[in-house]
């Protein structure tokens, strides 16, 4: 579904991604793990069009999407729930969700997407008229995921959804991820919490200083000695 080939991305003169290639097949949950500054966020931002690779190619469902504007990439069905959430704090929960559905039609489509989000995160329905800035950390993360879901993505990019959340919330988030996978959403998950992400993932990549050092099935990575030492607290 998604093929990333030999991506090189620069921040000014800083070479952030050095020839990264990954693949995500339909229906899979693929995770990218690695420490801070490895380039995971850069990777997602390049896929969703915020950053441009120089050079590199990104193919989605057979179509070359490299260099497309972010709003067009969203329209094609890629949703991105970014690190730090980037919610619209002064806007209400409802308005945030509405904005997630910007590229989708109103009426029925909107209604059913909204129902799905409220089913996954009932608390959002309760707080739908509150402004997003007044929500707790966990609620904000749920809103961020919900907002991305409002765009009816076929491929969902998630950047560090568990960051800063209490364990009980982290578990809930990963439960939701599992449910989404069952519903057929393809997921590319970037996480620092390697243990939990390898638990739900089918396959994974390990990113270090801008390069994809390892790849394999979740089982393979979980039993890999280096991975265990660096990321699984071995």
Partner 1 sequence: MSQGEMIIQQLFNALTIGSLYAEAAIGLAMVFSILGLINFAHGAILMVGAYSIVFAQAAGLPFWASALLGIAISTLAGVLMERIAYRPIRGAPDVSLLLTSFAVTVLIENGIVVFVSASPKGFPIPQILNSFVSVGNMRFPVIDLSIIGATLVLLVILSLLVTRTKIGIAMRAAASDLVGARLCGIDIDKVIVFAFALGSAMAGVAGIGWAGRLGDVDPFMGLGPVLKGFVACVFGGFGSIPGAVLGAYILGGMEVLFTAFLPTELALYRNAYVFIVLILVLLLRPAGILGTTAREKI
Positions that interact with partner 1 (CB under 8 A): 48-50, 69-71, 74-75, 79-82, 85-91, 95-96, 98-100, 102-103, 147-148, 151
Quote the least distance from Cβ 166 to partner 1, whole Å: 24
CB of 56 or CB of 100, closer to partner 1? 100
Nearer residue to partner 1 within complex by CB, 74 or 114: 74
Strand, coil or helix: what is 22? strand
Nearer to partner 1, 141 or 222 (CB): 141
- Which CB atom, from 150 or from 196, has the smaller least distance to partner 1? 150
Residues 187 and 179: their CA atoms lie apart, in Å, by 11
3-state secondary structure labels for all residues of 137-184: HHHHHHHHHHHHHCCCCCEEEEECCCCCCCHHHHHHHHHHHHHHHHCC
Q: Taking the complex as a whole, how short is the minimal distance between the CB of residue 118 and partner 1, in angstroms?
A: 18
Distance, CA of 126 to CA of 146 (rounded, Å): 14
d(CA 234, CA 100): 40
Omega into 139 within 30° of 0, i.e. cis?
A: no
Give the span between the Cα atoms of 113 and 122, in whole angstroms: 14
Looking at the Cβ atoms of 99 and 176, the one nearer to partner 1 is: 99
* Residue 85 or 181 having the CB closest to partner 1: 85
- Give the bridge partners for 145, in sequence order: none
- Alpha-carbon distance of 156 to 130, in angstroms, equals 26
Give min distance, CB of 86 to partner 1, in A: 3
Dig out the tokens for 195 from the structure. 């243990």
Considering the complex, what minimum distance in angstroms separates the CB of residue 225 from partner 1?
37
Count the neighbouring beta carbons within 10 Å of the beta carbon of residue 161. 24
CB of residue 123 to partner 1, shortest distance in Å: 20
Give the shortest CB-99-to-partner 1 separation in angstroms: 5
């Amino acid at each position: 579904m998604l093929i990333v080939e030999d991506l090189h991305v620069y921040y000014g003169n800083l070479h952030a991604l050095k020839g990264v290639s990954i693949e995500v097949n339909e229906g899979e949950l693929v995770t990218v793990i690695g420490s801070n500054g490895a380039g995971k966020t850069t990777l997602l931002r390049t896929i969703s069009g915020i950053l441009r690779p120089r050079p590199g190619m990104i193919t989605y469902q057979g179509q070359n999407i490299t260099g497309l504007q972010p709003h067009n990439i969203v329209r094609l069905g890629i949703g991105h729930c970014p690190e730090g959430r980037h919610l619209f704090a002064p806007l209400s929960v409802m308005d945030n969700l509405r904005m997630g559905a910007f590229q989708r039609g109103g009426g029925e489509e909107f209604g059913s997407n909204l129902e799905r989000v409220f089913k996954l995160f009932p608390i959002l329905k309760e707080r739908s008229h509150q402004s997003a800035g007044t929500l707790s950390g966990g609620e904000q993360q749920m809103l961020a995921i919900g907002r991305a879901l409002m765009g009816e993505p076929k491929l969902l990019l998630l950047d560090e959804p568990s960051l800063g959340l209490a364990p009980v919330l982290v578990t809930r988030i990963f439960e939701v991820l599992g449910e989404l996978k069952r519903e057929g959403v393809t997921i590319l998950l970037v996480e620092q919490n390697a243990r939990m992400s390898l638990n739900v993932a089918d396959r994974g990549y390990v990113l270090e200083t801008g390069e994809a050092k390892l790849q394999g099935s979740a089982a393979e990575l979980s039993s890999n000695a280096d991975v265990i030492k660096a990321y699984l607290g071995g």
